[in-house]
Structure 1
Amino acid sequence: MVFSLFSSKNRIINLVLNDHSIRYVELKQSNPPAAQKWGERFLTPGIIEDGKIVDIDSLTNILEECVDDWKIHRRSIRFIVPDQLVIIRKVNVPAEIQDDELMGYLYLELGSTIHLPFEEPVFDFYPLGDNGKTKELLLFAAPEQNVMEYSHLFSSVKLKPVAADISPLSLYRLYHKLELAEENETLFTIQFALTSVNLSIFEGAVPVVMRPFALPFNIEKWDIKRDHFGLAKCKYTGDTNELAGQFGDIFREISKLIDYYRYTLNHENHDITKFLLTGDHPMLQAIEDDLKERFGLPVGRITLAMNSTEKMENIPDQLLLPLGLALKEVK
């Protein structure tokens, strides 16, 4: 649906990079979704910051090691465009613009009637409606320079980028595949990661608003080990009041976004019906409890069983996003 920059391939590796990790999943089957292979490499601060590559040499070396360790040389990949780079915005265009002319029209209007906080974007759109005078579109955009920097990085380590996506859509794809979506729901998704939080609101299957926020992260206050899945297991060793303060800030941002949706975007016609909480933060259960207490709304989680060491366990939260990415364009 979004950022369809390249043609699709089979047996695609699904890669997610953020400020603190590189993760991949290879899909075994799509119904129910199951991971055949996966891996994770923890990143020290200063290599990627706010979704932007800061230390390209270190990142290239680390990714080369990952490609070797995971044995994914010359494989086609999908990747997630970091949340901090993505803008979602509703725009209106004249109704007489034909569907096959919309992309060209948007290119012409960028910078004149359509303003974005960056030049030369890569973008896609989703039609929302047509009232006879105007067509309403949902525009997804990111700076082309940053997106292509990731693409060139992958190519430099002998990977073949074939598609890009955004994280809320990938997670919703998994949520929908598992038949968790409810009729007429307005879903508020919260991706609570170790170094960032991404808030999105879905009307049906369409994300109409998205807000990313950075979380302060001092690696010296975290104990980081590997679990039996080979994934990072993080435990906070600092003052828990600091974390409580971070969570409080995010809860206030959630409240602001609910009000913005209710009174600005939606003219009080709809309200949030449910939260969906995901992410790799080790305190998700405490966050879920606080959400329920503060907002009085149901909080959904994605749980998916896998067979590990001859017993059933839930797929780790770190793998849900790349697993949702793996469902992109799966027929």
Structure 2
Amino acid sequence: MAFSLFSSKNRIINLVLNDHSIRFVELKQANPPAAQKWCERFLPPGIITDGKITDLDSLSSILEECIDEWKLQRRHVRFLVPDPLVIIRKVSVPVDILDDEMKGYLYLELGSSIHLPFEEPVFDFYQLGNNGKTKDILLFAAPEQNVMEYANLLSRLKLTPVAADISPLSLYRLYHHLGRTKENEVLFTVQFDLTSVNLCIFEESVPLVMRQFSLPFNINHWELKQDSFTEIKYTGETEELVIQFEDILNEISKLSDFYRYTLTNEKKDVSKFLINGDHPMLPAIYDEMRDRFETSVEMLSLNTEAFNKQGNVPFTLLLSLGLALKEVK
């Protein structure tokens, strides 16, 4: 799964850009997962907004500085398609469509029987099963213009894009690689970042439904200390964060109920919440979810000594590490 725009290469760096940061990881080894090198750069507001590049010149200048400072020149790169751009949708197609015809069929049906909120998508699919008359397909799509804007920017800066992925799959890939998965598990992933939250429900390894929410972010209410990594401390009114968190917790409940009552007709329920993200208040969010929900809540973590003897890899980079495991057997 994910977007098949590029061919695969070796010695790949793994880049994650969102509305507030640029991060990269270079994988040293896969078993156990270990990072050889990692860095981060905080982005001022207004350069990337809701996943879309809104100030290309500034982003290009900052990324060029990062490439030079981190010594990433002329490297192959994987990157994540920002969550707000991604659609996951279940569609039905005639059962007689052959596997090698599926992509062409879906391309023809986009805009007619299959409707997306954007034109000219880049997409991939995963087959779920059939009832004898139709096949169920899980469609992953994003606007090609926005995805290629990232790819073209990286190319202009002398990097070579070789793969694009989506964050829930990267998160699940690390979770699976660490041997945490269980048979018949229904996993609800919560990627809680500083400026957005991504919710996704997996049956086994398949992301059936995903929701994305933006969080209000006023940089004047945060204290930033920038070193090799950015330390962020909230200085605004606590009540504002409480309201944000409460809204997201309500959305988590709604999506969980939607899965249980609408998607499975009460035949299945979420068996675990998996939390990850770069929000500075993530431990408090984790504690609140444990108090709020009867379902098991786990924060994604790993033995940091398996990473690098020189020190701990920040928890904010676990998503990048999941991306680095793409195509690793």
TM-score for both structures, normalised by structure 1: 0.97
**Residue of structure 2 equivalent to 1:299:** 297
**Residue of structure 2 equivalent to 1:162:** 162
Shift of 1:289: 1.2
SS at match of 1:57: helix
Residues 266-297 of structure 1: per-residue CA shift (max 9 Å, x gap): 22110011100000111111111111111111
Q: Hey, what's the Cα distance between the residues in 2 that align with 1:311 and 1:116? A: 47
Shift of 1:309: 9.0
- Between stretches 254-263 and 298-307, larger displacement belongs to 298-307
Contact 1:192 1:284 in 2 (8 A): yes
**Residue of structure 2 equivalent to 1:244:** 242
Contact 2:35 2:308 in 1 (8 A): no
Q: Hey, what's the Cα distance between the residues in 2 that align with 1:3 and 1:16? A: 15
Q: Which residue identity lines up with residue 233 of structure 1 in the other structure?
A: E
SS at match of 2:304: strand
Sequence identity, in percent? 69
Contact 1:4 1:165 in 2 (8 A): no
**Residue of structure 2 equivalent to 1:68:** 68
Q: Hey, what's the Cα distance between the residues in 2 that align with 1:79 and 1:219? A: 26
How many residues are paired up?
A: 328
Q: Which residue identity lines up with residue 198 of structure 1 in the other structure?
A: N
Q: Hey, what's the Cα distance between the residues in 2 that align with 1:218 and 1:118? A: 29
Contact 2:260 2:267 in 1 (8 A): yes
- Between stretches 259-268 and 155-164, larger displacement belongs to 259-268
Residues 48-67 of structure 1: per-residue CA shift (max 9 Å, x gap): 00000000000000000010
**Residue of structure 2 equivalent to 1:175:** 175
Contact 1:6 1:161 in 2 (8 A): yes
Contact 2:286 2:299 in 1 (8 A): no
Shift of 1:160: 0.5
The equivalences for 1:1-331 within 5 A come to 1-226=1-226, 230-307=228-305, 313=312, 315-331=313-329
Residues 216-267 of structure 1: per-residue CA shift (max 9 Å, x gap): 111111111146xx22111101111110010001011111111211122122
- Between stretches 289-298 and 79-88, larger displacement belongs to 289-298
Residues 171-230 of structure 1: per-residue CA shift (max 9 Å, x gap): 100000000111111111000000100000000001001101000111111111146xx2
Contact 2:200 2:209 in 1 (8 A): yes
Shift of 1:81: 0.2
Q: Hey, what's the Cα distance between the residues in 1 that align with 2:31 and 2:53? A: 35
Shift of 1:92: 0.6
Residues 125-174 of structure 1: per-residue CA shift (max 9 Å, x gap): 00100221111110000000100011111011111001000000001000
Q: Hey, what's the Cα distance between the residues in 2 that align with 1:138 and 1:210? A: 12
Contact 1:224 1:233 in 2 (8 A): yes
Q: Hey, what's the Cα distance between the residues in 2 that align with 1:80 and 1:311? A: 27
Residues 85-132 of structure 1: per-residue CA shift (max 9 Å, x gap): 000000110000101000000001001110001000000000100221
SS at match of 1:142: strand
Residues 11-39 of structure 1: per-residue CA shift (max 9 Å, x gap): 10000000000000000000011100011
Contact 1:170 1:325 in 2 (8 A): yes
Q: Which residue identity lines up with residue 224 of structure 1 in the other structure?
A: L
Shift of 1:312: 6.4
- Between stretches 259-268 and 249-258, larger displacement belongs to 259-268
SS at match of 2:210: strand
Contact 1:305 1:312 in 2 (8 A): no
Shift of 1:306: 2.9
Cα distance change of structure 1 residues 165 and 310 upon mapping to structure 2, 3 Å threshold: closer
Q: Which residue identity lines up with residue 9 of structure 2 in the other structure?
A: K
Cα distance change of structure 1 residues 289 and 306 upon mapping to structure 2, 3 Å threshold: closer
Q: Which residue identity lines up with residue 207 of structure 1 in the other structure?
A: P
Q: Which residue identity lines up with residue 45 of structure 1 in the other structure?
A: P
Structure 1, unmatched stretches of 5+, are none
Q: Hey, what's the Cα distance between the residues in 2 that align with 1:310 and 1:190? A: 29
Q: Which residue identity lines up with residue 93 of structure 1 in the other structure?
A: V
Contact 1:82 1:166 in 2 (8 A): yes
